[in-house]
Amino acid sequence: MSSLRTQLRQTGEQTAQVLNFRLTRTVAECPGAKPQFYCSGVLVRSVAAGNPATFWKLSAEAQQVGAERFLWLRDDAPEVAPQGKVGYVFLDGFSATGQGKPYSAKHTEGGREVAIDNWNDQAPAGVAIEAVYYNYADPTALLRAHNAQRAFFDVTGEWLPVLRYARSEDGQARFGFNSMEQLYYGYTVAARFNARFADASSSCADDSPPYYCSGVLARTTDVGNFHAWDPSPSSVSGNGVSFSWFRADQHVRRAFKAQGFVVAPMSAPVAHPLTLRCLYPFDAGTGGAADMCNIRGSCTPGKDTLDTWFAAYSQNPIRGCAIEPNVSGVQLNTEIRNDNRISDEHGWNEWMIAAWPQNIGGQLPLESFFHTSTSGHGGNGVAGAQNFQRDYLSTDKRYLPVLELVPLADGGKIFTYSPQDQSVD
């Protein structure tokens, strides 16, 4: 699967490059006295508003007249532009023949439309469709493009690339490809998370604490009239946003709520880095605290060991002191969570990240949204994570996949990806 996805990513990049080259190729005639659209320009057709799940199906007009109309884009006609926000691209005539998908077509009156003779829309794998595109001026249109991408894959087993379509200030059209905007990218994200989950290193290669390179930092939150990634009022007042750190040696068996988001390791370059303030091996009952890391004082650096912590807090782990987030602190946290003498009533740890400003989602190291059916509190689950996904795309023009979290999954594959879990429009 991973090699296939790599190949598709390269094909998507190459597809955008080839389309942009064809847009600039303003020849008067193609080899063999073929019409201009056989080797230059780009043939596009907008899909009707609504669900584009069968976008390759012939329109009622095409069924009546025997041909489907396409717009022919080229740099020598910058005023020509698709009307819809989502559409698909047809191969040029020579490429279609080379791929065993030839078609018959002719210019319509006026020269900026091409009528392509009807194809067999019961067998879309044999149709000369090259890509799906969406208008980058409306980021949420990506969801409709995903709907088309997923539908084509479900029928053919082939991932068409989703391309961005944009127009420059002088009106010229251009296509772009972003691997993170492809539905299949979610498989890569899940694999990355599971690899970090399995990495139980005591420190990173540069001797920094292990959360800089391993484990998965995840936050769960409710669904409401706020951005999921913004700190809550109590998190701001107490300068602490609650996360759980999922790693194989932490034995976290469930999440706090049914939906949330994952942030990248602390070493990831990002516009607004996050700061881990303190660690609690278990739920720490921090709600409403004036300072999330001083609610019951800090553990004593260099003096607190598993034995001293056990003697002080084993009967009531939720009352434990705040552990410093250094290498030895993470090690102490791990030893505590691995001590079978201590009862973990809730099933998660609580790591406090310093509160960040509101409304800076695009500057944060967000990697994905997720849902889980294994949580301490109910929630919206898949629908909640999809809500976050749509809100983030609309607010910050960035798409993140929705994953499923199963903390005690066999083989340590606690994150899985399904195209069916993603938002559609």
- Examine the fold and report which residue of 181, 210, 232 is the final residue of a domain before the chain moves on: 181
Q: Tell me, yes or no, whether 15 and 30 share the same domain.
A: yes
- Examine the fold and report which residue of 181, 203, 224 is the final residue of a domain before the chain moves on: 181
Residue-number span of the structural domain to which 177 is assigned: 2-181
Q: Tell me, yes or no, whether 160 and 271 share the same domain.
A: no
Separation between Cα atoms, residue 276 and residue 273, nearest integer Å: 10
Q: What is the pTM of this model?
A: 0.92
- Examine the fold and report which residue of 137, 158, 181 is the final residue of a domain before the chain moves on: 181
Q: Are 298 and 305 in contact (CB under 8 A)?
A: no
What is the average per-residue pLDDT within 111-131? Answer: 96
Share of the chain above pLDDT 70, in %: 97
Q: Tell me, yes or no, whether 239 and 264 share the same domain.
A: yes
Q: Tell me, yes or no, whether 238 and 285 share the same domain.
A: yes
Q: Tell me, yes or no, whether 222 and 132 share the same domain.
A: no
Q: Tell me, yes or no, whether 142 and 198 share the same domain.
A: no
Express each pLDDT in 252-269 by its tens digit.
999 999 999 999 999 999
Express each pLDDT in 13-44 by its tens digit.
999 999 999 999 999 999 999 999 999 999 99
* pLDDT recorded at residue 183: 96
* pLDDT recorded at residue 274: 98
Express each pLDDT in 224-241 by its tens digit.
999 999 999 999 999 999
Q: Tell me, yes or no, whether 130 and 241 share the same domain.
A: no
Q: Tell me, yes or no, whether 309 and 276 share the same domain.
A: yes
Express each pLDDT in 52-90 by its tens digit.
779 999 999 999 999 999 999 999 988 889 989 999 999
The domain total for the chain is 2
Q: Tell me, yes or no, whether 257 and 362 share the same domain.
A: yes
Separation between Cα atoms, residue 387 and residue 130, nearest integer Å: 31
Q: Tell me, yes or no, whether 205 and 160 share the same domain.
A: no
Q: Tell me, yes or no, whether 300 and 345 share the same domain.
A: yes
Report the first-to-last Cα separation within the chain, whole angstroms: 27
Separation between Cα atoms, residue 118 and residue 63, nearest integer Å: 8
* pLDDT recorded at residue 271: 97
Express each pLDDT in 171-210 by its tens digit.
889 999 999 999 999 999 999 999 999 999 999 999 999 9
Q: Tell me, yes or no, whether 137 and 219 share the same domain.
A: no
Express each pLDDT in 349-371 by its tens digit.
999 999 999 999 999 999 999 99
